[in-house]
């Protein structure tokens, strides 16, 4: 087995970190010596500022009132006075924010003094045109403070549209579609370490926006996304609505289901996350996640990930474009995929396959093998823009039981046992993968080569058209 890909780099990084730490300590003593010398010479601190908080957050009320004021305290922790050389509102005159420091209101302020072990207040105000529907979901700016040649920043954030906001909170109940929902930080269905057994339902047509590095986590609880294809989809995306962000991956972390209890997702469109959907272990007697009629695309690392005995039933779905693996099923117990399209046409550099099935997982200290009790795939396609888009990687020591039926797969060397009526290394002839159009013409190998004997065959395809016999491979049934 090949050594884990990051181990060598991690060792080099650790050595460099130790060397850097030694150099840093030496430099720190030199700097402290110089600072002490300067303080003694002129009675002015050579240190920097401290702030009561590094982000000023204006919450939901201000999208209806239009303006509000918040304040923070700026501290001088040194015994000598400190001189703030510059305070600058980075957005300048065009910013919706304004600041007042020690009675002075301006976008740019110079030479503010704070006595030793003293502080002063900064007041920030925001004024929004609440009738401007073109505002982004989140409006941002920052304030720069320069002391002794060092810049420090305080961030300004205000909600730009009327919405429901979930700021680092535990959530449950029902999310309706009358206003968008914005997640800032983590929205958690369930309490870590506790059998919470909470339930969150997200209704059809709901728009959910994630701020940078935000996520929705389900822990020992149930998530029910009740969307519907062809008009009632629930959409997960970032908070930036400008066209530049339409296909920019990594705008937020994603959805994590940890020991989920019979979670169901129907009619979801999820785009531009970092980790897509992760299913980690299960508390269910059936599947931890049943995922149907959904699209997950353009994720920075994964679109769909199963790990540590996670269980999934996936039907009528598309997973397209991811920076590492589009679908990675590692150390899972039970997987069933039917009429699923996995198509990784990532535009950047990528050496990893679009689909991986394995029965082991590597951590920083050991390799763990989990039983792969049952993995069945019917009428699925696994293709993309590199030579090997389909990999099975298993180790001895645990149950390995899988079967692929009437699937289209791409690997330079086709596998042997475990594959029934499958097609290898044939171009699916998708209309245009660059625009996520994975429909195909009548002469595509996807057309008519599926099986009607899948255990849970949907009567309609992802385009809400009736499936006809012979069945096609993938999420769409009617050739275009």
For the segment 345-368, what is each residue's pLDDT rounded down to a tens digit? 999 889 999 999 998 888 778 888
- Report pLDDT digits (tens) over 233-251: 999 999 887 788 999 999 9
Query: How far is 303 from 297, CA to CA, in rounded Å?
Result: 6
The CA distances from residue 421 to 101, 374, 413, 417, 449, in Å, are 73, 19, 16, 11, 9
Question: Which pTM value belongs to this model?
Answer: 0.77
pLDDT for res 135: 64
Tell whether the model's pLDDT for residue 152 goes beyond 90.
yes
pLDDT higher at 210 or 132: 210
Tell whether the model's pLDDT for residue 140 goes beyond 60.
yes
Q: Give me the CATH code for the 50-159 domain, please.
A: 2.60.40.10
Mean pLDDT of all residues in the chain? 87
pLDDT for res 162: 76
Backbone dihedral angles phi then psi of residue 16, each to the nearest 5 degrees: -65, -35
- Residues sharing a CB contact under 8 Å with residue 305, sequence separation 6 or more, in sequence order: 275, 276, 277, 278, 279, 325, 327, 328, 329, 330
Tell whether the model's pLDDT for residue 427 goes beyond 70.
yes
Instruction: Report domain extents, the chain.
Output: 50-159, 164-435
Percentage of residues in the chain with pLDDT exceeding 90? 69
Query: How far is 235 from 395, CA to CA, in rounded Å?
Result: 38
Helical (H) or strand (E) element with 39: helix 7-42
Q: CATH assignment of 164-435, given 2.40.50.100, 2.160.20.10, 3.20.20.10, 1.10.3720.10?
A: 2.160.20.10
pLDDT for res 242: 77
Asked if the domains at 50-159 and 164-435 fall in one CATH topology, the answer is: no
Strands (E), 190-248: 199-203, 207-210, 215-219, 222-226, 234-238
């Amino acid at each position: 087995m090949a050594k884990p890909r990051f181990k060598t780099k991690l060792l080099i990084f650790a050595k460099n970190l130790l060397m850097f730490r030694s150099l840093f300590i030496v430099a720190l003593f030199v700097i402290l010596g110089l600072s002490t010398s300067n303080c003694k010479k002129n009675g002015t601190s050579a240190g920097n500022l401290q702030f009561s908080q590094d982000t000023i957050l204006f919450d939901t009320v201000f999208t209806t009132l239009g303006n509000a004021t918040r304040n923070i305290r700026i501290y001088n922790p040194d015994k000598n006075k400190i001189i703030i050389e510059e305070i600058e509102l980075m957005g300048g005159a065009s910013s919706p924010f304004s600041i007042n420091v020690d009675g002075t209101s301006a976008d740019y302020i110079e030479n503010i003094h704070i006595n030793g072990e003293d502080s002063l207040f900064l007041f920030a105000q925001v004024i929004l045109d609440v009738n401007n529907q073109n505002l982004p979901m989140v409006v941002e700016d920052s304030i720069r403070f320069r002391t002794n040649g060092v810049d420090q920043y305080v961030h300004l954030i205000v909600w730009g549209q009327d919405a429901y906001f979930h700021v680092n909170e535990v959530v449950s109940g029902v999310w309706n579609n009358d206003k968008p929902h914005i997640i800032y930080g983590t929205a958690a269905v369930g309490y870590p370490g506790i059998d919470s057994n909470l339930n969150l339902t997200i209704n059809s047509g709901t728009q959910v926006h994630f701020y940078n590095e935000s996520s929705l986590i389900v822990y020992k609880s149930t998530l029910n996304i009740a969307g519907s294809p062809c008009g009632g989809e629930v959409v997960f995306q970032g908070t930036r609505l400008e066209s530049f962000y339409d296909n920019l991956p990594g705008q937020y972390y994603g959805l994590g289901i940890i020991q989920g209890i019979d979670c169901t997702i129907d009619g979801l469109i999820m785009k531009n996350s970092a980790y897509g959907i992760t299913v980690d272990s299960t508390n269910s007697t059936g599947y931890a996640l049943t995922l149907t009629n959904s699209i997950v695309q353009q994720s920075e690392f994964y679109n769909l990930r199963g790990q540590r005995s996670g269980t999934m039933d996936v039907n009528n779905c598309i997973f397209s474009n991811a920076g590492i693996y589009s679908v990675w099923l590692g150390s899972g117990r039970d997987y069933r995929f039917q009429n699923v399209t996995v198509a990784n046409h990532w535009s950047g550099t990528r050496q990893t396959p679009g689909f991986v099935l394995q029965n082991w997982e590597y951590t920083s200290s050991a390799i763990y093998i989990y039983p792969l009790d049952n993995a069945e795939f019917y009428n699925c396609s696994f293709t993309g823009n590199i030579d090997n888009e389909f990999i099975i990687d298993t180790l001895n020591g645990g149950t390995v039981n899988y079967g692929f039926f009437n699937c289209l797969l791409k690997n330079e060397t086709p596998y042997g046992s475990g594959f029934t009526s499958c097609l290898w290394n044939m171009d699916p002839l998708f209309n245009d993968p660059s625009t996520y159009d994975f429909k195909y013409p009548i002469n595509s190998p996807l057309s008519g080569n599926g099986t009607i004997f899948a255990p849970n065959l949907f009567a309609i395809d992802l385009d809400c058209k009736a499936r006809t016999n012979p069945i096609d491979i993938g999420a769409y049934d009617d050739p275009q």
